[in-house]
Amino acid sequence: MNFLINKKKKKLNEQVIKYVENSKIINHPIDTSITNFYFISNEINKLVNIRNKLLVCDKQSRKRITEKCFNLYCFLITSAKLKKKNNNFFKRKILEYVEETIARSIEKIKIEDIDKKLIPYSIYIRSEKSLGSLVADLNIACSSYLNKINSVRIRHLIIDKDEINIDEEWKKKHECFFNKKKLKIPISKHNYEYILNGLHKSSLRKQVLYLLNIPFENKNLNKDVINILKKRYDIATKMGYKNWAHYSISHFTSEKNNYDKVNDFLALVKMKIDKEYDTVKCSMEKTINLEKSTNMQVNIDDKKDSCVKLAIYDWNYYYNKILNKSDEYLINTYFPHAHVLKNFLIIVSKIYNFAYEEVKQEAGQERWGKNSHIYKIKKKRNEKIMNSNIMNGKNLLDNTRREQDKSGSNLLGYIYIMPYKDISFMDYFRIPLIDSLPNTCLICAGHVLIDYRFLSSVPIEKKLFSCSEILTLFHEFGHAYHLLFLSTKYNMYRMSNMPLDYAELFSHINEHVANNYNIMYNLSNNINDNSKINEYLFKTMKFDYSRLANIFSQSMLDYAIHNLDPYAFFEGHQGMVSCAEVVIRSIRGTRSKNCNSHRDSDKYGMHTYHENSYDHSLDKFYSTVEKYFPYSFSSHYSIHSTSFPYHFSCCYAGSVLSYLFAEMRVLLNFSTDNLSLKKYSSLVSFQRKFYEIIEDDLTFDANPSIITHALANKKMLLRKAAHY
């Protein structure tokens, strides 16, 4: 019996290899057990040996074999991520062996038969012998930094119930166990803005920021960041680039020839944000003055005149107040998990005009874990879209897909959805790890996994989707549907080198689809009375000016910190503060009034640390970039409590600008304002535009520059309000 099982597995592995190496769609659902690392690595080794024996003149055969090797390697990389809890050491060694084997082949027999820029990143680095050890050291440093970030324990805000204006049901869930008059609220980057918006006292808002950032102190994280920056700078300059930002933008985005224009582009976006924030700033001043005139208690930290920026925690509070945002928990009640997950595919299938059917799985035997779903996705023809694109010289079906249509197949592939992450007992005491973030990956041609990693509730039936989770639902599906289409058009290895801004474009388009009342109306269903969300409530969750500003700020932080020479910028800075440096830090809010402060506790348990014990090595950087923000960072701000560590620790660090490129491309070229499930014409119009963009070869050199387009249309961009 075991012999028959092994024979069946071997046959299955051979079939998988045949399909994967030729980028053909496996026409049935798969699971994580489909990958045999040893079997696939052995097949790659065979292909490399065959390629090495081919004559130099046989370029076509050599190219085809090289592409097969790359396809199988990319499949291994994805499979390693899917099986990361099992045999990590064994898999890592196999991957290193495969990378080394292919890299040696490239070095031995020149890669003239394939475009150098299409070589998978890890193999390219291994083939550059002078960079190998530097990159290995960098990876170790990034891993160490990430481990420190992930070891942080969560902190709690303990306050009286009447000190926060928030939903009563939410308050009941956060009552202190021994004192029902007080609340014990966990503080993390996932909820701190929500908490800030309900606190009337500035001192409490300041405490929230303190609790958010204090877990990251005394871990030498600033020094780790500077160490990583120096390693990246060494690698970039060794490769002939000015710095790591220059390298990343050139290597990972479609703007590789426009590095010198980035500063002008950022200045233009900043000008647009400032223009849109002018009204907000005026309203803030009026609100603050009104509170003063009515003798209300106004506790605004260190705000002595109108020229001084509000601290980040006060700015968030007043911004939310003037826009009259509703309590987010109230909005969440309109999006119970069962209804949202059931209706989400119905809605997006109408928007993008595809057919789907769920593959049945027996309870307890789900291929991708508990609560997972598998959907078979098929193309649907729309003659209005097809005729329009033919008239415009477009053809929505490439040669491969035309052949599939002739054979009667309209299969796009399978999407595997894993909604929730498993929660351990310790997860209730720590901030969600960096690897808890959602992700979407192409397993092989026509098979895409969406791992949303939403936090489940106990019981799961009471799970409510937050506004950010709904946005994530649309964002990741945008990636998945895009990948399904492209995987029928390109080899798998070419997908791994897709410019990041192009990859993000389709997820941003889908986020803007969610920013539509008709779509949210159909997705909602109140848990209490089955009512739909009304237009007033929707306006409070709709995108506002802060969306572009937030994307800009994260992009700016990443770009600015990688666009400098860390040796010169941080020269002589030992990280410990001196009295002379208080002057520099006063720009961003002094951490203490003098250099000899001691550790005290106020009634909220908030501490003041001895200045000479705190690492201030990034203060100069904070002072440099604060001018790009509408608020001051305050004395308790730290980049380590934001999404910064996620971007900073990956190989794409330095190219977070790709999110800004994608957003600006959507704002300038794509509108979802009139999209409605009831208006057939609006759906056709949207689909026509969407499939035109997919058909354009934007993945490589043909991609039109958004930087050039924005700078050439400066007046139009500033005049045009972001359609939020």
Burial class (CB in 10 A: 0-12, 13-18, 19+), 60: exposed
Give yes or no for a contact between 20 and 73, defined as CB atoms under 8 angstroms apart: no
Provide mean pLDDT across the span 185-199: 89
The CATH architecture one would assign to domain 331-543+670-719 is Orthogonal Bundle (1.10)
* In the chain, % of residues over pLDDT 70: 80
Q: Looking at residue 543, what is its pLDDT?
A: 87
pLDDT digits (tens, 9 = 90+) for 535-584: 999 988 888 888 999 999 999 999 999 999 999 999 865 444 433 333 33
* Average pLDDT over the chain, rounded to an integer: 81
Provide mean pLDDT across the span 101-114: 70
Q: Looking at residue 365, what is its pLDDT?
A: 67
Give yes or no for a contact between 405 and 382, defined as CB atoms under 8 angstroms apart: no
Pick 82 or 590 by higher pLDDT. 82
- Given a cut of 50, whether residue 474 has pLDDT beyond it is yes
Q: Looking at residue 604, what is its pLDDT?
A: 44
- Given a cut of 80, whether residue 1 has pLDDT beyond it is no
The phi and psi torsions of 517 (rounded to 5 degrees) equal -60, -45
Of the given ranges (103-117, 315-329, 491-505, 659-673), which has the lowest mean pLDDT?
A: 103-117
Spatial separation of the C-alpha atoms in residues 502 and 480, rounded to whole Å: 13
| Confidence band, pLDDT 50/70/90 cuts, at residue 101 | confident
- Given a cut of 60, whether residue 448 has pLDDT beyond it is yes
- Given a cut of 70, whether residue 302 has pLDDT beyond it is no
Pick 401 or 693 by higher pLDDT. 693
Pick 418 or 92 by higher pLDDT. 418
Give the pair of three-digit tokens for residue 429: 């005491």
pTM: 0.87
Q: Looking at residue 708, what is its pLDDT?
A: 93
Q: Looking at residue 2, what is its pLDDT?
A: 47
pLDDT digits (tens, 9 = 90+) for 578-637: 333 333 343 344 443 333 333 334 444 444 444 444 577 888 999 889 988 989 987 778
| Confidence band, pLDDT 50/70/90 cuts, at residue 56 | low
Residues in the chain: 724
Of the given ranges (151-155, 189-193, 490-494, 600-604), which has the lowest mean pLDDT?
A: 600-604
Spatial separation of the C-alpha atoms in residues 646 and 146, rounded to whole Å: 8
DSSP letters spanning 698-715 = -SSTTPPPHHHHHHHTHH
pLDDT digits (tens, 9 = 90+) for 205-264: 999 999 999 989 888 999 999 999 999 999 999 999 999 999 999 989 999 889 999 999
Q: Looking at residue 279, what is its pLDDT?
A: 80
Q: Where are the domains of the chain?
A: 2-127, 331-543+670-719
Provide mean pLDDT across the span 338-344: 92
Provide mean pLDDT across the span 79-107: 78
Mean pLDDT comparison of 82-86, 425-429, 516-520, highest-scoring range: 516-520
Beta-strand relationship, 411-420 and 447-454: parallel
Beta-strand relationship, 155-160 and 411-420: unpaired
Q: Where are the alpha helices (DSSP H) in 239-299?
A: 244-252, 262-293
Q: Please list the residues that pair with 157 across neighbouring strands.
A: 185
Q: Looking at residue 600, what is its pLDDT?
A: 39
Could you count the other beta carbons within 10 Å of the beta carbon of residue 458? 8
Of the given ranges (28-37, 69-78, 476-485, 528-537), which has the lowest mean pLDDT?
A: 28-37
What lies within 8 Å, CB to CB, of 510 at 6+ separation is 348, 474, 475, 477, 478, 481
Give the pair of three-digit tokens for residue 84: 């990361």
